[in-house]
Structure 1
Amino acid sequence: MHFSSQILPSTKFKDMKKFRDLNFYEKLLVSALVVILALIAFNWSSFSARVMHSFSVYTEQPKTKN
Structure 2
Amino acid sequence: MKIQFKLREGATLDLAGAVRLFPDENDPELASLYVVELPDDEAEDTLRTLKRSSAVEFAEPQAKRGLHR
TM-score class normalised by the smaller sequence:
under 0.3
Q: Mark the structure with the bigger radius of gyration.
A: 1
TM-score, scaled relative to structure 1: 0.24
* Structure with the largest fraction of strand: 2
Give the TM-score taking structure 2 as reference length: 0.23
Larger helix share, 1 or 2: 1
